[in-house]
Amino acid sequence: MSSPGVDGDPKPPCLPRNGLVKLPGQPNGLGAASITKGTPAARNRPCQPLPPPTLPPPSLAAPLPRAALAGGLCPTAGIPLGGPPSAPAPGPPVERPPLATDEKILNGLFWYFSACEKCVLAQVCKAWRRVLYQPKFWAGLTPVLHAKELYNVLPGGEKEFVNLQGFAARGFEGFCLVGVSDLDICEFIDNYALSKKGVKAMSLKRSTITDAGLEVMLEQMQGVVRLELSGCNDFTEAGLWSSLSARITSLSVSDCINVADDAIAAISQLLPNLAELSLQAYHVTDTALAYFTARQGHSTHTLRLLSCWEITNHGVVNVVHSLPNLTALSLSGCSKVTDDGVELVAENLRKLRSLDLSWCPRITDMALEYVACDLHRLEELVLDRCVRITDTGLSYLSTMSSLRSLYLRWCCQVQDFGLKHLLAMRSLRLLSLAGETPHWPPCWTVTHTPALPTHTVQLRLTCEVPCASLYLGPISCLRSRSEKRSGSTLGWARPCPHPSTVLVHLAAPLPLRCLPGCPLLTTTGLSGLVQLQELEELELTNCPGATPELFKYFSQHLPRCLVIE
């Protein structure tokens, strides 16, 4: 019990804490009392009261830190423990930045915006731009710069190269330059701070780069390991021999009219570390594929031969023996490849995970049997416009437990019965049965003209205003609007004598307004796809059996699947 103190006030009790006893200050002026742990003096010494004005009631006393209990100084008042305490002085209030400029909040918020939206948001204020210009928000994106966007016109009519510091701040590792010349490329190298070492990938499209320009670019930009040349008709095979460097691991060449067999010879001899090759060339033959050696066999894992019309099964033999470690192969548009060529692929390239046979009109169900029997690791199979594929071929594919993506666009013989075979493929995540509307430049009008060769439809495209899109070159590919594979082409074009007209030859008689998907599939057959509960994407664009009621049915029974109408 507590005994009465001075003026009748009760004596405050001792405050034990972890075996320690706090002794109040002495009235005789001896200063702070000593504190010991577990000693008889501490246990038998009577507690002394403190003056009432200097000690709050015990119920309001805050626990002291261990350092203070061990005989240190009071952390708030800076005086010995037991001395007259003083109330802590209130510090200034901590000011938090407004939510609109709080970098911690902005760093999390800006992840929810697309790249185009981030470009707009970066113009709001300096604080937002400082946060958005961090390289983490732009990883994996490639800026596309047209030639006319590289210069600012001064009041005197002179041109000044644009400031690229904003691109350097965001740490872009790749650029796509469109319609540039040798001089434009040199200006880009001189004005972009990271061009010498920081740029890893370069893409040149519809440009007039010459052999000299290509050599200077690859000599100056020592960091480039991925190179794309598309629609560049002024460089030759000699330019590849003089400019290609062994550091390049990925090369893509398309729509370049001077590329033929000798270009493949340069690639095979100068690029021993090549991991990925994408080639779209009309003049490449089986001879070119014989240039690949054992050096590429160890490093090359991806080969895309797009619209290489002259390649036959003999070329496929060269590929499978020279590049046995391929994991991705595309023969899209190689119209001379037959089932025998696919059999060679299936028997020799057992590591394949992706195979593209789109627009191979000679492929039949027999080829799918070879694929199903031997390619047990295959995850993606593209059969767009393989018009000889039937329900029997789909029955072979239904045994492939690893297949995740299957493209059957424009497979006109597939029926509901064949679709039932696919319902057993529980591993399937993406299925495309679509067709598509061809996409022409907005200033062009399209009209039919009489077909000249058999099985060929000729369209006349007339440009209403002169524009860069008119000049497609001697041979150029036209692609559908949502085509995901660069090698899937609707046809080829050549200029007419008239300066504003281009003739387009389609490889098959296709309707002008739309290209139907699988026309024999009915609404009843398509509705059975709800059994594929693991499906993540289903493409039914321009499929006649896909009705609004069916899409509503899918939305109810396939809630996790993206259905593309």
- For 497, residues 6+ apart whose C-beta sits below 8 A from its C-beta are none
Closest alpha carbon to 474 in 229, 231, 179: 231
Per-residue model confidence (pLDDT) at position 155: 87
Closest alpha carbon to 69 in 110, 127, 18: 18
The HSE-up count of residue 357 (CA atoms within 13 Å, CB side) is 30
Per-residue model confidence (pLDDT) at position 157: 81
Whole-model pTM over 0.75: no
pLDDT level of residue 561 (50, 70, 90 thresholds): very high
SS3 231: coil
CB 413 within 8 A of CB 518: no
Per-residue model confidence (pLDDT) at position 486: 38
pLDDT level of residue 68 (50, 70, 90 thresholds): very low
Mean pLDDT (whole number) for 296-305: 93
Closest alpha carbon to 300 in 342, 281, 272: 272
Report the distance separating Cα 345 and Cα 349, nearest Å: 6
Q: Structural domain boundaries of the chain?
A: 6-69, 444-506, 524-564
**Position 55 pLDDT exceeds 50:** no
pLDDT level of residue 495 (50, 70, 90 thresholds): very low
Amino acid (1-letter code) at residue 512: L
Report which of residues 74 and 316 the model is more confident about: 316
Report which of residues 249 and 36 the model is more confident about: 249
Q: What is the pLDDT of residues 73-110, one digit of tens each?
A: 444 444 444 555 566 666 666 666 677 788 888 888 88
Report which of residues 467 and 165 the model is more confident about: 165
In percent, how much of the chain has pLDDT > 90? Answer: 52
Per-residue model confidence (pLDDT) at position 229: 96
Per-residue model confidence (pLDDT) at position 435: 76
Report the distance separating Cα 30 and Cα 539, nearest Å: 90
Task: Please give the mean pLDDT across all residues of the chain.
Answer: 77
* Kind plus residue range of the DSSP H or E element containing 352: none
